[in-house]
Amino acid sequence: MIYWHWLLGFSLFFVVAERLLPARPGQRPLRKQLGNDLFYLLFNGHFYAVLVGGLSGLIALRTRGLLSPVLPFAVDGSALSSMPFWGQFLLYLIVSDFLQWCVHNLLHRVPFLWQFHKLHHSIHEMDWAGNFRFHWMELIIYRSLLYVPLALLGGDGEPLLLAAIFSTFWGQLNHANVRLKLGPLGYLFNGPEMHLWHHDSSAEGGASKNYGIVLSIWDWLFGTAYWPRERAPDRIGYPGDHELPRDLPRQLIFPVLRGREQ
Ligand SMILES: [Zn+2]
Ligand SMILES: [Zn+2]
């Protein structure tokens, strides 16, 4: 099975899970912006991801060649391939999750990058489909900053693919409208409760907390974790999010539009 099949399977799983075990029972399944977010799921999760993934893979291979004199293990990617499958999977998962935590931080802290990340934070009714609501530029930023270090680690393609599939499942879970209490596991794994606070439009949680994707340990370690039990934000979005166009074509070129207006 390829990535796309898993993505489809997970999406169907969360459609059912949200009906059976909703965290916010009053939330409508056919919410506003769902059409746009299903487009982002198709475009970002499949067509465009394949294109950018292929290109960044090529760049990573070239970089590996260029760095091989100083990093001999990178010559043939042999650093990890001697490890067992599950060892490689775990290492890829942990390293890529930390790198994504770093990139997510940058998306919030660098004003230029925040202009692109605003689209993800403009969702007002959170569900599984919101995971893929992000600007096409984000994929370029994530892939270029992720693939090169991962390619330098070497190793096999299958455990890397499985780590990417697992990370996608967890990303959809974080955004899903499902009632899931992680208990003490919340100190290790991120979950829907914590990620909802990352989307809080007030300063209480908001864009400076809970950057994690799969693991929450990075946020606990670096002091950005926020997890008030039994409570949810009053409103999700970001301050001033009415500026973001609701139609798809203008969302795709939003940062350019914004630049022209200023
Ligand atoms: Zn999110
Ligand atoms: Zn964010």
Question: What's the pTM value of the predicted model, to 2 decimals?
Answer: 0.88
Q: Does residue 80 fall inside a structural domain?
A: yes
Q: Does residue 6 fall inside a structural domain?
A: no
Q: Does residue 141 fall inside a structural domain?
A: yes
Please answer whether residues 154 and 92 qualify as being in contact, where contact means their C-beta atoms are separated by less than 8 angstroms. Answer: no
Q: Does residue 153 fall inside a structural domain?
A: yes
> pLDDT for 145-182, tens place per residue?
877 777 777 777 788 888 889 999 999 999 999 999 99
Q: Does residue 21 fall inside a structural domain?
A: no
CA distance 113 to 45: 20
38 C-alpha to center of ligand 2: Å? 19
Asked if the model's pLDDT at residue 261 lies above 70, the reply is no
More confidently predicted of 260 and 104: 104
181 C-alpha to center of ligand 2: Å? 22
Mean pLDDT of the region 50-57:
64
Asked if the model's pLDDT at residue 139 lies above 80, the reply is yes
CA distance 230 to 215: 21
What is the distance, to the nearest Å, from the Cα of residue 186 to the centroid of all Cα atoms in its chain? Answer: 18
Which structure tokens are listed for 32? 């506003």
Q: Count CA atoms within 13 Å of residue 180 on its CB side.
A: 21
CA distance 61 to 77: 10
9 C-alpha to center of ligand 2: Å? 25
What domain range is 163 assigned to? 31-261
How confident is the model at residue 103, as a pLDDT?
Answer: 94
How confident is the model at residue 50, as a pLDDT?
Answer: 65
For the chain, the domain total comes to 1
Of 1-5, 20-24, 115-119, the least confident: 1-5
Please tell me the number of the ligand nearest to residue 213's CA: 1
Q: Does residue 148 fall inside a structural domain?
A: yes
199 C-alpha to center of ligand 1: Å? 6
Q: Does residue 13 fall inside a structural domain?
A: no
Average pLDDT score over the chain: 86
CA distance 47 to 113: 23
Q: Does residue 163 fall inside a structural domain?
A: yes
What is each CA distance from 4 to 57, 60, 252, in whole angstroms? 18, 22, 22
